[in-house]
């Protein structure tokens, strides 16, 4: 989660009563609402954090970062369907929000929606072509979507700059036929 400012999480926790008081005085002050959401998210009180983020979005409905943070806490809470909805709003507001595409891909994968996961991770690879973990996730989504030739393409791509991630993909996708593509690694 991209947290609102105001120092460390322990400082924010101690300031929670003051933020609640400030909210009571001005419930339309979005930064106060976001601080309350961040504190509750750090406490893992996802129900409360979700309410705060939803309130913030009534004030700034086109804020991609707030939609992303709402999606992130929904994913952490184990609510992937609700997370996908919020990630979708984040990318509606900012189609280049690579973190939201990545989160959406993970949530779809968690639900076994591999075609949708592929689409989200393909967007991540387009926006961040050198993001090894994004490519790894795309390779795994291809594997689960039964696209073996595309898994091989991702392994070849990863070998150039993330050989350890390529090796992990070969292992996790159970593609021993691709081991010859992985260079000998000293680690």
- Chain segment 31-66, per-residue pLDDT in tens: 999 999 999 999 999 999 999 999 999 999 999 999
According to the model, what pLDDT value does residue 27 have? 85
> Is 1 inside a domain boundary?
no
Residue pair 10/1 in contact by the 8 Å Cβ criterion: no
Q: Which residue has the tokens 């891909």?
A: 105
Structure tokens at 76: 């952490």
Residue 153 located in a structural domain = yes
- Collapsing DSSP states into helix, strand and coil, what is residue 162? coil
Distance in angstroms (rounded) separating the CA atoms of residues 60 and 31: 11
Q: Residue 149 belongs to what domain range?
A: 129-187
Q: Are 68 and 87 in contact (CB under 8 A)?
A: yes
This prediction's pTM = 0.88
Question: Is residue 72's pLDDT more than 80?
Answer: yes
134 is a domain residue:
yes
Dist. CA 81–CA 62, nearest whole Å: 20
93 in any annotated domain:
no
Take residue 113 and report the two structure tokens written for it. Answer: 């929606």
Structural domain includes residue 13:
no
Please count the structural domains in the chain.
Answer: 1
- Give the Cα separation of 22 and 185 in Å (integer): 56
């Amino acid at each position: 989660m991209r947290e609102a400012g105001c120092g460390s999480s322990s400082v924010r926790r101690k300031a929670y009563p003051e933020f609640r008081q400030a909210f009571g005085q001005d419930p339309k002050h979005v930064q106060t609402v976001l601080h309350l959401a961040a504190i509750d998210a750090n406490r893992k009180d996802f129900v409360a954090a979700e309410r705060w983020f939803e309130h913030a979005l009534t004030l700034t409905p086109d804020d991609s970062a707030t939609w992303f943070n709402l999606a992130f806490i929904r994913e952490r809470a184990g609510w992937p369907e609700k997370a996908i909805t919020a990630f979708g709003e984040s990318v509606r507001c900012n189609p280049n929000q690579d973190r939201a595409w990545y989160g959406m891909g993970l949530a779809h994968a968690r639900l076994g929606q591999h075609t949708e996961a592929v689409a989200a991770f393909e967007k991540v690879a387009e926006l961040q072509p050198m993001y090894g973990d994004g490519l790894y996730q795309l390779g795994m989504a291809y594997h689960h979507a039964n696209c073996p030739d595309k898994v091989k393409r991702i392994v070849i791509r990863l070998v150039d700059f993330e050989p350890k991630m390529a090796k992990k993909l070969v292992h996790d996708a159970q593609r021993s036929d691709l081991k010859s593509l992985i260079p000998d690694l000293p680690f």
